[in-house]
């Protein structure tokens, strides 16, 4: 590809030293190349966003909402092309890629609604307890924001950031993952098609050099990052000299808690979905199964059968339940955990092996009765690898679930709704599902506690993350 960076309303070729190869993980073969942006081009993108900020932030919320609705419509119009690219570059089954597109469309429409509501909220009076003064509230954009998104949910994670940032009146520079640099380019093409003012949305592609140049850039007013804890720590460090806010959506090692009164057939569905959706490459993957001892053996047996029955293959070749891992690096990482499990003597009930090619396939894997000392129990694997432990009481289940450095999500399975609600309230996480798959709605928040990150995305909290609150107080005397 000769161009691949969207800066100040135009497509430009990369001037960096690195060439990004874009792979089909089902075959392990590259199907596109893209020259990375240079540090100078990152500067240009930030400068373009800074120049566009005054006019964009001066628009009414209703005016910005018009652009957001147009973006939603264009994403929907490009559904067929975006589906194919998600399936080819990420290895997503078609039904998963469809959910991603629906999610992106819903996100732009939702924040269009919130943008329209901003006009009525602006300059609202504040009741004061002291006479002789009046005050009102203003919600103002933070300014120029940098957005760094991962490879596991491209298009979706970027929509979660782009839509609220634009709704708030911010301008932005987006850095997609070097593993999946193509699909986010749809937003640049859409920006041109709908007449989004030049500089409001900029896209620069690259690997570590480009990400570092953006996260360290003095011209940003905020940075929002989704990715690994290791890189998230570097992002926090880069923000410190500028004392600027960051939103970090990081890793997870989430629990699914199955009580003895659960319907086993339903439990199997929710457990399998929680660890095999997107081939387990989710920060929210419920990779720790806590099951009551009374049903543990029965549930283990059913899960082993269900894992073995999953159709794993190339989504471009036919209907599958799970595709490959998205990169060679992730394939090697999961293979290392399989070797570690064997060295630790873990009891494997299903899977435990990587494919022999072509493509980066791994078997959905179940390890039973894994000790808490195991790295497989404590570390985020980012693959379809499920580890189990047994519990005997509600209190023990809560303690085991909370015994993690992460705190992103959890799932509770029980026919006793009062108990499920009690457990949900006690879990130290940002989102809990009860008797459900991981249904994520744009109206609810997304984010976690502990090492799972800082801040929230989605819902009104996602909009607030890109706003500054100003109060104006006047003396009447």
As annotated, the active-site residues are 249, 283
The burial of 17, by beta-carbon neighbours within 10 Å (0-12 exposed, 13-18 middle, 19 or more buried), is given as: exposed
What is the DSSP code string of 206-263?
Answer: -SHHHHHHHHT-TT-SEEEEES-HHHHHHHHHHHGGGT--EEEE-----EEEE-TTS-
CA 123 to chain centre: 34
Identify which of 222, 277, 273 has the alpha carbon closest to the alpha carbon of residue 246: 222
Residue 292: helix, strand or coil by DSSP? Answer: strand
**Strand locations in 238-377 (E):** 246-249, 255-258, 288-292, 347-350, 365-368
Is residue 73 a contact partner of residue 104, using CB atoms and an 8 Å limit? no
For residues 353 and 80, give the distance between their C-alpha atoms in angstroms, rounded to a whole number. 34
Phi first, then psi: what are they for 133, rounded to 5°?
-135, 150
For residues 161 and 174, give the distance between their C-alpha atoms in angstroms, rounded to a whole number. 9
Q: For tokens 């589906």, what's the residue?
A: 83
For residues 333 and 361, give the distance between their C-alpha atoms in angstroms, rounded to a whole number. 12
DSSP 405: S
433: tokens are 């599902």
Beta bridge partners of 468: 140
What is the DSSP code string of 76-124?
Answer: HHTHHHHHHHHHHHH---HHHHHHHHHHHHHHHHHHHHHHHHHHHHTTE
Compute the C-alpha angle 196/201/205, nearest 5°: 140
Is residue 63 a contact partner of residue 186, using CB atoms and an 8 Å limit? no
How crowded is residue 283: how many other Cβ atoms within 10 Å of its Cβ?
26
């Amino acid at each position: 590809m000769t161009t691949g960076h969207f800066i100040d309303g135009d497509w430009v070729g990369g001037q960096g030293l690195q060439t990004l190869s874009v792979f089909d993980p089902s075959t392990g073969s590259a199907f596109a190349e893209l020259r990375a942006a240079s540090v100078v081009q990152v500067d240009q993108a930030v400068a373009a966003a800074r120049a566009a900020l005054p006019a964009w932030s001066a628009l009414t919320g209703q005016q910005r909402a018009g652009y957001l609705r147009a973006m939603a419509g264009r994403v929907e119009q490009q559904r067929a092309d975006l589906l194919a690219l998600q399936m080819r570059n990420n290895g997503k089954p078609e039904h998963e890629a469809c959910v991603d597109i629906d999610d992106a469309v819903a996100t732009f429409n939702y924040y269009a609604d919130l943008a329209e509501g901003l006009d009525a909220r602006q300059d609202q009076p504040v009741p004061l307890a002291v006479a002789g003064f009046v005050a009102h509230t203003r919600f103002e954009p933070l300014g120029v924001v940098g957005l760094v998104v991962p490879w596991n949910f491209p298009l979706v994670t970027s929509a979660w950031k782009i839509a609220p940032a634009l709704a708030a009146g911010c301008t932005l520079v987006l850095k997609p993952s070097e593993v999946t640099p193509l699909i986010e380019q749809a937003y640049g093409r859409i920006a041109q098609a709908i007449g989004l003012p030049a500089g409001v949305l900029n896209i620069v592609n690259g690997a570590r050099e480009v990400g570092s140049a953006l996260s360290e850039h003095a011209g940003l007013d905020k940075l929002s990052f989704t990715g690994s804890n290791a890189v998230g720590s570097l992002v926090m460090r880069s923000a410190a000299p500028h004392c600027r806010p960051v939103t970090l959506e990081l890793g997870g090692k989430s629990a699914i808690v199955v009580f003895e009164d659960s319907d086993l057939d339903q439990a199997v569905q929710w457990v399998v979905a929680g660890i095999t959706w997107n081939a387990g490459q989710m920060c929210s993957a419920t990779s720790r199964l806590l099951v009551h001892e009374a049903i543990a053996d029965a549930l283990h047996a059913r899960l082993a059968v269900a894992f073995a029955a999953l159709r794993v293959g190339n989504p471009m070749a036919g209907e599958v339940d799970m595709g490959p891992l998205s990169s060679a690096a992730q394939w090697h990482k999961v293979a290392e955990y399989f070797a570690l499990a064997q060295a630790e003597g873990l009891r494997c009930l299903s899977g435990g092996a990587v494919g022999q090619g072509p493509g980066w396939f791994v078997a959905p894997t179940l390890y039973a009765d894994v000790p808490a000392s195991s790295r497989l129990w404590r570390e985020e694997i980012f693959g379809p690898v499920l580890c189990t432990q047994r519990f005997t009481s509600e209190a023990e289940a809560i303690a085991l679930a909370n015994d993690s450095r992460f705190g992103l999500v959890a799932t509770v399975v029980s026919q006793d709704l009062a108990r499920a609600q009690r457990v949900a309230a006690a879990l130290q996480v940002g989102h809990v599902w009860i008797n459900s798959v991981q249904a994520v709605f744009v109206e609810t928040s997304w984010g976690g506690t502990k090492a799972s990150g800082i801040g929230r995305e989605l819902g009104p909290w996602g909009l607030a993350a890109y706003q500054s609150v100003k109060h104006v107080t006047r003396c009447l005397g």
